[in-house]
Structure 1
């Protein structure tokens, strides 16, 4: 059977020019080196090299295996390096699950420094889950879950990485733009624009409207933050969004941020990982970069 050692012997003999030097490089005795090639020749039924005075001359079979060694040995060395990196947490595929629509903009700010710091780690992003983000995390379908609504279990640990306030985005000349904050009753005559999520999972409903038995005049759902803000700017409704999303767009779109209730709705982006996996280097690296990634917030 052809083994890596056979290819290494042919490679080093060709590179160093002698059996003695090759044996020293491979930590073998010259006798053991010659014996290994002789056994291979017996199994193959053909000679690999012949002596030409004090020199060795490769046969056609030997030349073939030498060319093979020059292709395969670097690949094997590379494979061992990659496996070592994976074992030590320096390399792998990081699968990120996201349960938060506006978190996409925040994640993009994390991605650039992370990809630069971890060039050997591949990234995959999932926004659709088989049975929910926590279940997919437990099933090892994802490695990190990004969510503003953590559900901690014995096997999952959530880390808050970025605090923000949920605010109402309203047109510049809207009556609420002049108010210090909005009351639930203020939305009874409004079109509320949200992401395509059930009201039972939206903070503007669960923490603000429903406790006061209020419901907006109309509830409109759209897929993207950009579309949502454009509709608000056009006077087609108001929306509840993270404060930092409005910072760069307030003046451009002529929209204003209004506090939701006198105390506001304060949230955190959390990263959930399986217990103990914070010791995996490239996961720990993502957590570290996430903690220091800042986004601007409105004054």
Structure 2
């Protein structure tokens, strides 16, 4: 099925080339197919490079490249074996797109189940901003592996953050306080645990500075969550600034998924949309908290 879809893409580009007069002048079918694949390659998203920048780079490069250059590149690409001393600490498979089993980020079934409702909400609420119809299965399943894995991985880190808190007796009173669980020196921090996901997204050509910053905001949120929980357990004064910042940061996963969608669809990030959705996410979080609090009152939990 994937091969047929790729063939369809090439055929569409070939038709476009014909209508624009871009076909190979000697009428060689092989030449046209090569050019079609080349154009498809240029259209693929890569880091933060805009299409205009790619055109400039290729134009400058082709003026300097000749057949000898390509033969040298071909020779270098065919070399076997590498100097192990020069290998990075985190090794990747030779196709440079798949992580090794040892370094591949893993997710559990529970994390996938917890992420499910968020994914459904994201698809229903955000796909429209990318010109996609959530009611068309192809639009959903085309991007689902990337979105599902990332959201599940984030939920798994969220669970790890919750596990890092433990109820222990307070030595100064009979009350119980929430303290951070003391782990061995070998325990990975949440930031370290985020590295495999960072590497995976980098290998898939999805990582950008903006996306990485949003992932870091997740670390900030979890840190604030621990701080606020510990303060509540001790009946300490809570900073309203911390609460407001935590509410704003809480929906960082939606922003991560949204930035991924821009990369997956080959679009430039729409800052106006991002700002609007950030405000919307903030209001939704407050609304959810109010509904939850009202539910607690009506069930006599307070």
Bin the TM-score by the shorter chain.
under 0.3
Higher relative contact order (CA 8 A, sep 6+): 1
Tell which structure's C-alpha radius of gyration is larger: 1
Considering fraction of residues, name the structure with more strand.
1
The alignment's TM-score, normalised by the length of structure 2, stands at 0.19
Considering fraction of residues, name the structure with more helix.
2
The alignment's TM-score, normalised by the length of structure 1, stands at 0.19
